[in-house]
Amino acid sequence: QSGNFVSSFLNYANQTGIGISRSVSAGNAAATEIIDFLEWFSIDPATDVALCYIEGLEKGRDFFERIKEITKKLPIVLVKGGITVGGQRAAASHTGSLASDSKIFEGMTRQAGVTRAPDIESAFEIAATFATQPLPNGSRTLVLTTAGGWGVVAADAISQSSELVLAPLPNDLKETINKLLPPRWSRNNPVDLAGGETRDTIPELLSVASKHPEIDSIIQLGLGIQGNTANLVRTGKFYPEHGLERIVNFHERQEKRYAEASIEVSLTSGKPVLVASELAATQPNNPMVKTIRDSGRLCYISANRAVSALNHLVRYSGWRNQSN
């Protein structure tokens, strides 16, 4: 119900490399309603997830009965406008919508398996996650990190989430990791590599973790550091002399390889692997970020954003399994 938000979502898609197959602005939906479009999208082979903005509904019961059937096939991410008195007045003047009671609307969408997003930015990230990551079979989440602080923040976010569980590290997986990392590694989840990785460690860890039956999803943190170092060296006054060109090329190849490994293990295992780094915002041409973006996946700008997106993925997956 907003042409401007259609434009906003298209802008986010262009920035991140996430594809959009169709876009419609329904306006005040005088003839064709939002739910009519959603029903069509649910049988459209080019559509993997629906992302929509709604201000108000005239036929609440009809909307509920129809949308709960759609979400059995198609994830729907929804932003609701007019959830406050001020917003309701604005909605009335914008589309003429009588904004629905927010508590009733929240209950209805939850029962129907609709994913509610609090704002446009998170709505796009959640929808992009549905479009590019497989649905997890459970809530057990493993965090792999090249530095301890990122892992701590991710562990807090997972522990505070409504759906995710910070998976206890299985003994057999711990023994395998012992062979890949020096004794100072964290020996727990999050798996903190503590600077002990070699050129092959990260791809190997991703592979063994994704294959373990007690791990449902992986969040990978700390990639991009080598690419960032390469960028600093490349722009320094001594480059490319003194063998620096060879060093820069090595670091950039490694970052690309790490990103490719995260994508590959997700595809082969059928499990979500979410990569997060602030470099997605601060250095979008970092070879790790660019490789993920070029693959059509999203690199999240923080661990918290990745955890939030994964939390919605797990919630919807559980609802869908119970409903079908």
Domain C-terminal end among 99, 130, 161: 130
pLDDT tens digits along 232-271: 998 888 888 888 999 999 999 999 999 999 999 999 999 9
Q: Is the domain of 158 the same as that of 292?
A: yes
Q: Is the domain of 152 the same as that of 105?
A: no
Tell me the C-alpha distance between 19 and 297, whole Å: 9
Contact 307, 166 (CB under 8 A): no
Helix axes of 148-160 and 303-323: crossing angle, nearest 10 degrees: 40
Q: What is the pTM for the complete model shown?
A: 0.90
- The torsion angles phi and psi of 153, rounded to 5 degrees, stand at -60, -40
Tell me what the pLDDT averaged over the chain comes to.
89
pLDDT tens digits along 312-322: 999 999 999 99
Domain with residue 55: its CATH number is 3.40.50.261
pLDDT tens digits along 130-178: 999 999 999 999 999 998 899 999 999 999 999 999 999 999 999 999 9
pLDDT tens digits along 268-290: 999 999 999 999 999 999 999 99
Q: Is the domain of 81 the same as that of 38?
A: yes
Q: Is the domain of 96 the same as that of 12?
A: yes
- Cβ burial of 117 (10 Å; 0-12, 13-18, 19+) is buried
Q: Band the pLDDT of 89: cuts 50, 70, 90.
A: very low
pLDDT tens digits along 32-77: 888 999 999 999 999 999 998 887 777 888 988 999 999 999 999 9
Q: Which residues on neighbouring strands pair with residue 143, listed in sequence order?
A: 219
Tell me the C-alpha distance between 288 and 183, whole Å: 28
- Number of folded domains that form the chain: 2
